[in-house]
Amino acid sequence: MSFNNDDSRRGFGNDRKRNFGRSPRPNFDEARFNREHPDEAPAPSNERESRNFDERPTRRGGIGNQAHLRRDRDDFKNRPSRFASERRDFGADRDSGERRNFGERRFEERPVFDKSRADQENFVPAVGDADAAPQVAVGGIKEVEELLNKNPLQVHRVLFMHKSGNPKLYELQKLAKRAHVHVQQVDSKILDSYARPNHGVVALMNEKELLNWMDVREEFFKARDTGEKKLIAVATNIEDPRNLGACIRSSLALGVDILLLPAKGMCGITPSVARTSAGALEKLRICRPDNLEGAIGELKMAGYQILGLDADTETNLAGFDFADQVVIAVGGEDVGLPPFIRKQCDAVLRIPMKPEAHSYNASVALSLGLYEYARLRIKA
């Protein structure tokens, strides 16, 4: 009896698992495969030395060249189809040796903003009404400083970047306040929407340079002594440019000698105002006093009758006894007369109105008040 140790039995079991019912795996003959599937000629031995680096290297034949994939590609390319004219040759780029620039954009470039529309550098249109030319905006520290020194009455307001920390902007803001130009702190994105570059400051311009009250007040002060009839209109708290344009047009038509506007709380003399006024803007004298309350107080001391138009009163406009020198003031339809004007009024007049209506438009109210005065004056 023979005995086998555990090592010999484990070795026998492993041999049986590997060889039982199987034949040994044949070695792959690459030379035979290349003879049966010829595809490309073998590259010369000195291919690396003679190859131009601008060309793609030629692969060797055999299994490394994936000949079966190339045969499928050729069969697909030669297969007849009614879309053959539209089929793309996927091997054209590789066969031609050209390299595709994958960084090239295959879509159309976005149109570049045409800055030639601006008449002058740093003078660009500001955001305004969609159906009218936008308000002119001037950006830049030096440009705005020059405007405030030479033409402050043509500047509607000055926008400064909020919390800029620039000492030059701080000095420019003090200059604007000395010129009695309204200033406002806004975000930098708002400044960029008006003018680029702006260096943190943008000036919004009026379409017309307004008059200085100190230059024209003597003419109106003497009217009481000479007995000349004078009609002065005051418009406050009007934010709609079309409304202001209608006020200017009605003032010219009904014989207003001068129109007074406050320094802030109003829309500027924008292109929309000029368009709505229908040419009246260039013919009517418009003044922006540094202190509107003080100017009205001076007119009252000179003998002018100060009248306001408001719905919250019992005095009717129809049949009112007007003086020869009159100031008629109107406020916005939502705000009404400001308190600093109302307290100086000799009378506040209401226009007849149905109770179902909320209020008159500011330009309509001013037109009705001016018409009542002009009707009596023309009649006299």
**Lowest-pLDDT range of 29-33, 110-114, 168-172, 289-293:** 110-114
Query: Is the residue at 313 inside a domain?
Result: yes
**Quick one: pLDDT at residue 71?**
59
Tell me, yes or no, whether 282 and 375 share the same domain: yes
Give me the sheet containing 155-161, strands edge to edge.
123-125, 136-139, 201-205, 155-161, 182-186
Q: Is the dihedral of CA 155, 197, 114, 108 positive or negative?
A: negative
**Of 7-21, 218-232, 275-289, 321-335, where does mean pLDDT reach its minimum?**
7-21
Is residue 111 pLDDT above 60, yes or no? no
Please give the share of the chain, as a percent, with pLDDT higher than 70. Answer: 66
Residue reference for tokens 């010829």: 38
More confident residue, 54 or 218: 218
Give the pLDDT of residue 357: 80
pLDDT category, 115, cuts 50, 70, 90? very low
> What rounded mean pLDDT belongs to the chain?
77
113 part of a folded domain: no
Picking from 60, 56, 65, the residue whose alpha carbon sits closest to that of residue 96 is 56
Q: Kindly give the pairing relationship between strand 230-235 and strand 325-330.
A: parallel
Local confidence band at 126 (pLDDT 50, 70, 90 cut-offs) = very low
Higher pLDDT, 8 or 317: 317
Q: Which domain holds residue 147?
A: 119-205
Q: Are residues 234 and 341 in the same domain?
A: yes
Claim to verify: residue 198 and residue 220 sit in the same structural domain: no
Looking at residue 311, what is its pLDDT? Answer: 81
Q: pLDDT higher for 300 or 38?
A: 300
Q: What is the CATH number of the domain that holds 195?
A: 3.30.1330.30
Contacts 24+ apart (CB under 8 A), 87-94: 94/56
- Other C-beta atoms lying within 10 Å of the C-beta of residue 259: 22
Q: What is residue 66's predicted lDDT score, i.e. its pLDDT? A: 55
| Residue 49 falls inside a structural domain | no
Same structural domain, 185 and 220: no
228 and 357: one domain?
A: yes
Indicate if 195 and 279 belong to the same structural domain: no
| 238 part of a folded domain | yes
Q: Which two tokens stand for residue 24?
A: 């040994």
pLDDT at position 185: 92
Residue 6 lies in a domain: no
Task: Assess if residue 225 is contained within a domain.
Answer: yes
Highest averaged pLDDT of the listed ranges 21-25, 124-128, 292-296? 292-296
Q: How far apart are CA 87 and CA 305, in angstroms?
A: 90
Instruction: State yes or no: pLDDT of 288 exceeds 90.
Output: yes
- Give the pLDDT mean for 143-164: 92
Specify whether 227 is located in the same domain as 294.
yes
The per-residue pLDDT for 117 is 42
**Residues 355, 242: one domain?**
yes
- Contacts for 41 with CB less than 8 Å, ≥ 6 apart: 61
pLDDT at 79: 55
Distance CA 22, CA 315 (A): 121
Answer with the one of 205, 228, 260 that is the final residue of a domain: 205
**Same domain assignment for residues 235 and 334:** yes
Whether residue 221 lies inside any domain: the answer is yes
Q: Can you give the three-state secondary structure of the chain, one letter per residue?
A: CCCCCHHHHHHHHHHHHHHCCCCCCCCCCHHHHHHHCCCCCCCCCCHHHHCCCCCCCCCCCCHHHCHHHHHHHHHHHHCCCCCCCCCCCCCHHHHHCCCCCCCCCCCCCCCCCCHHHCCECCEEECCCCCCCCCCEEEECHHHHHHHHHHCHHHEEEEEEECCCCCHHHHHHHHHHHHCCCEEEEECHHHHHHHCCCCCCEEEEECCCCCECHHHHHHHHHCHHHHCCCEEEEEECCCCCHHHHHHHHHHHHHCCCCEEECCCCCCCCCCHHHHHHHCCHHHCCCEECCCCHHHHHHHHHHCCCEEEEECCCCCEECCCCCCCCEEEEEECECCCECCHHHHCCCCEEEECCCCCCCCCCCHHHHHHHHHHHHHHHHHHC
Asked if residue 258 lies in contact with residue 285, where contact means CB atoms within 8 angstroms, the answer is yes
Co-location of 167 and 239 in the same domain: no
Residues 303 and 356 occupy one common structural domain: yes
In a domain, 286, yes or no: yes
The count of domains in the chain is 2
**Do 250 and 336 reside in the same domain of the chain?**
yes
| Domain termination residue (choose one: 156, 176, 205) | 205
Lowest model confidence (mean pLDDT) among 81-85, 155-159, 208-212, 220-224: 81-85
pLDDT at 219: 92
CATH classification at residue 300:
3.40.1280.10
- Mean of pLDDT values over 324-329: 94
**364/359: higher pLDDT:** 364
Instruction: Read off the pTM.
Output: 0.64
Please identify, among 146, 178, 205, the residue that sits at the C-terminal boundary of a domain.
205
Distance, in Å, from the CA atom of 358 to the CA atom of 77, rounded to the nearest integer, reads 80
Q: What average pLDDT score do residues 112-141 get?
A: 57
| Residue 201 tokens, joined | 């400051």
